[in-house]
Amino acid sequence: MCGIVGYIGNNNAKDVLLEGLKRLEYRGYDSAGIAVRCDSSLVEIVKSEGKIDNLVKKISSLNINGTKGIGHSRWSTHGKPSEINAHPHHSDDYNVVGVHNGIIENYQELKEKLLRHDYSFYSETDTEVLIKLIDYYYKKYNIGPVDAINKAIVRSRGSFALALMFKDYSDQIWFAKKGSPLIIAKGEGESFLASDVPALLSYTNKVYYVDDFECGSISKNEIKFYDLNGDDITDTKKLVSIDWEADSVNKGIYPYYMIKEIHEQPEAIKETINAYLDKNNNIDFLHIGISEKYLKSLDEIYIYACGSAYHVGLVGAQIIENITGINARVELASEFKYRNYHMNPNALAIIISQSGETKDTYEALLKCKESNIKTLAICNVKGSTITRDADFTALTYAGPEIAVATTKAYSCQLVVLYLFSIALAFSKGQIDISRYRSLIEDISTIPQKIESILNNESTIQSLAQRLVNKKDVFFIGRGIDYALSMEASLKLKEISYIHSDSYAAGELKHGTLSLIDESVMVIAILTQPDLFEKMVSNIVEVKSRGGKVISLTTDNFNVQVKSDYNITIPTINPLFTPSLSIIPLQLLAYYTSIGKGIDPDKPKNLAKSVTVE
Ligand code: F6R
């Protein structure tokens, strides 16, 4: 969803804004623009359709000098991607210029009100309406930016992170937030705002998180926060240190973020495992507030998440049920709001999110809170909205994930759930100390086993050639492999645009087999010893209908004779095979995307952090 940046200081604002927008491009990339205040009366606005590079090219031929400005990269909601709909937007006299991430749901009603007051509109966007509404209140009541912003906020339904410039306040940039993420940072004689940390990491790692219904201003030497009453609340705000390296947002030696992030997995998983093991190699969730006694008291687990994070939940729930003796229920966060099942007061709800900002997931968290169910967030972004509102937070240590398709965050979420399940099983007396130790030992081997898979990357790269021209690919598996296959299928479809679906292998005969013919590739995942023979039968079913099969199995099994192509992964405890199986399948998706000439970091129509419903 859109990215916004703001800068005020002594440097050329356009350079800081463009760099920030490049860093935020993963949030949206159908158009972009900046507004730079060149002097107290002149604001230059430059916009272009397409990726940020188009904007950079356009700006390079213009002479824009100013030390204050705001910028935006867009993922369109209201109004098609076009230069006119791109932000920044402005009131007709440029009294208010602004950028916005979010959606104003009642914009039509607000627009009609403004039309009655002689405002006219040049774009199809809800943002233009919001900017003009602020301008309307500012002028009508002559009340200054804070009160004008607050009045407009009260009238608007939906979500927003806003950065604004007012003609009469040329030494400040104003901001406001509800629902969409926004951070503020202070440097030496300069201040910044952005949707997300990567935009600012090369300048500072100390940020303020803006809370809902707060607004404020940044100037060269001062940051101010106000509440909805217009009261100054600056003293109540806390500066948060982000422990990500500035370098971690660069591609380094890699052509794309996605392949860099795939290769970062062994290290990221190691760091994440270490964060939850104490010096005696015992699992430690106490440092995040979860005691053994509390774990013992739980008699059900709920898991809520979207997309890949939901797929982590599907794997995790099976492990929980396998070893802890209690039930786990996994639900798409976007569907949970429509469900009305009885919630067990002794349950813990696990909320999984890389960004910590996904709206559907956040709403699932709020619904749990309303039902008095304790929540544990498994999240990659410290200080994000979900981590701030959850009862407990288990951070993943994947570092910033920039590619739209998640890889390393997915893998880190998996290991946190493994460790959590083992701690839960042990505290409930479902596993003894020797099983506890051996499970931890198995998890500790994951990073090195992933390394060995990555060392064979070229095999997968060649195999990807078999997929490039396919129209349909099916992933099949049973049990944990089925849960894993859903993630593998999502990876392939989102970055290669090949239609792909995942099926429980036992379901093929209930309908899907009719789709199988010579043109179809089936990727069969069979890492579970007790399900192996059944899976082999499913492969035979596919082969006998002419389908081509790539099988993926651990190196202690051999299905080469039954399939057309074979991928092997190192043997590991069957509970943890998803951590290994996903690696070649991420690579397969990546190289298929590359083979089709697609930019895997920025698949069309998608954005990384989904802050709308
Ligand atoms: C797919 C992908 C998405 C996210 C989903 C949830 O590769 O990345 O499916 O998993 O949008 O995002 P978070 O984890 O940020 O809540």
Percent of the chain that is helix, strand, coil (3-state, to 5)? 40, 25, 35
Are 242 and 262 contained in the same domain?
no
Average of per-residue pLDDT across 137-162? 94
Share of the chain above pLDDT 70, in %: 98
Query: Is a pLDDT exceeding 90 seen at residue 244?
Result: no
Quickly tell me which residue has 């971690």 as its tokens: 248
In a domain, 422, yes or no: yes
Q: What is the pLDDT of residue 198?
A: 86
Looking at the predicted structure, is the pLDDT value of residue 588 above 90? yes
Q: What is the mean pLDDT of the chain?
A: 94
Distance between CA atoms of 449 and 569, rounded to whole angstroms? 8
Three-state SS at 364: helix
String of DSSP letters for 233-253: -GGG---EE----GGGGS-TT
Domain that holds residue 136: 3-248
pLDDT at residue 26 greater than cutoff 90:
no
Angle made by CA atoms 448, 454, 460, in degrees to the nearest 5: 145
Where in the sequence numbering do the catalytic residues fall?
2, 608
pLDDT at position 607 over 80: no
459 and 517 co-located in one domain: yes
Q: Which of 248, 274, 298 is the last residue of a domain?
A: 248
* Same-domain pairing of 244 and 261: no
Contact 74, 138 (CB under 8 A): no
pLDDT reading at 608 higher than 80: no
Q: Which pLDDT score, from 0 to 100, does residue 603 have? A: 86
Closest listed residue to residue 105, CA positions, set 173, 175, 159, 153: 159
- Ligand 1 close to Cβ of residue 324 (< 6 A): no
The verdict on the CB of residue 361 being under 6 Å from ligand 1 is yes
- Evaluate whether residue 563 is within a structural domain: yes
> Does residue 73 sit within a domain?
yes
With a cut of 90, say whether residue 38 has pLDDT above it.
no
Residues 200 and 105 in one domain: yes
Domain co-membership, 274 together with 339: yes
> Is residue 160 one of the residues assigned to a domain?
yes
- CB of 405 within 6 A of ligand 1: the answer is yes
Q: Higher confidence at residue 188 or residue 234?
A: 234
466 and 429, same structural domain?
A: no
**612 inside domain:** no
Q: How many domains does the chain have?
A: 3
The structure's pTM equals: 0.88
Q: Kindly report, residue by residue over 251-285, the tens digit of the pLDDT.
A: 899 999 999 999 999 999 999 999 999 999 999 99
pLDDT of residue 246: 76
Coil, helix or strand at residue 535: helix
Q: Whose CA is nearest to atom 9 of ligand 1?
A: 307
Per-residue pLDDT at 80 exceeds 90: no
Contact indicator for 3, 52 with CB cutoff of 8 Å: no
Q: What pLDDT is recorded for position 605?
A: 76
Give the CATH number for residue 467.
3.40.50.10490
Where among 389, 424, 444 does a domain terminate?
444
Q: How confident is the model at residue 561 (pLDDT cuts 50, 70, 90)?
A: low
Is the pLDDT at 560 greater than 70? The verdict is no
Examine the domain organization and report whether 59 and 30 are in the same domain. Answer: yes
Residue 161 CA to residue 551 CA, distance in Å, equals 46
Cα–Cα distance for residue pair 343/317, rounded to 1 Å: 17
Q: Which of 313, 296, 295 is nearest to 304 (CA)?
A: 313
Residue 494 Cβ contacting ligand 1 at under 6 Å: yes
354 alpha carbon – ligand 1 mean position (Å): 7
Structural domain ending residue among the three candidates 421, 444, 467: 444
Residues 393 and 462 in one domain: no
Does residue 76 carry a pLDDT above 80?
no
Same domain for 374 and 329: yes
Residue 590 CB contacts under 8 Å (≥ 6 apart), including other chains: 256, 258, 259, 262, 464, 495, 600
What is the structure's pLDDT at 179?
86
- Cβ-count burial of 119 within 10 angstroms (0-12 exposed, 13-18 middle, 19+ buried)? middle
Per-residue pLDDT tens over the stretch 331-346: 999 999 999 889 999 9
- Say if residue 528 is in the same domain as residue 404: no
Q: Ligand 1 atom 10: the closest Cα is on which residue?
A: 308
Above 90 in pLDDT, residue 576?
yes
Looking at residue 24, its pLDDT comes to: 86
217 and 278 fall within a common domain: no
Distance (Å) of CA 70 to CA 5, 58, 318? 6, 17, 47
Ligand 1 centroid to residue 608 C-alpha, Å: 7
C-beta of 306 in contact with ligand 1 (< 6 A): yes
**pLDDT for 19 beyond 90:** yes
Q: Residue 583's closest CA among 254, 255, 262, 313?
A: 262
Position 317 in a domain:
yes
- Amino acid 63: pLDDT: 86
Q: What CATH number is attached to the domain comprising 89?
A: 3.60.20.10
Q: Does the structure show a pLDDT above 70 at 612? A: no
What does DSSP assign to residue 266? H
Distances (CA, A) of 119 to 130, 209, 267: 12, 34, 55
With cut-offs at 50, 70 and 90, classify the pLDDT of residue 241: confident
The predicted-structure confidence for 468-489, as pLDDT tens digits, reads as follows 999 999 999 999 999 999 999 9
Question: How far is residue 166's CA from residue 159's CA, in Å, rounded to a whole number?
Answer: 21
Place of tokens 């993922």: 75
Ligand 1 centroid – CA 353 distance (Å): 7
On whether both 7 and 147 belong to a single domain, the answer is yes
Please report which confidence band the pLDDT of residue 602 belongs to, taking 50, 70 and 90 as the band edges: confident
Q: Say which range, 75-84, 307-316, 583-592, has the weakest mean pLDDT.
A: 75-84
Residue nearest to ligand 1 atom 1, measured at CA? 405
Residue 593 inside a domain? The answer is yes
pLDDT the model gives residue 562: 81
Sign of CA dihedral 494, 497, 498, 500: positive
In Å, how far from its chain's centre is CA 360?
12
Domain-located, residue 434: yes
**pLDDT surpassing 70 at residue 611:** no
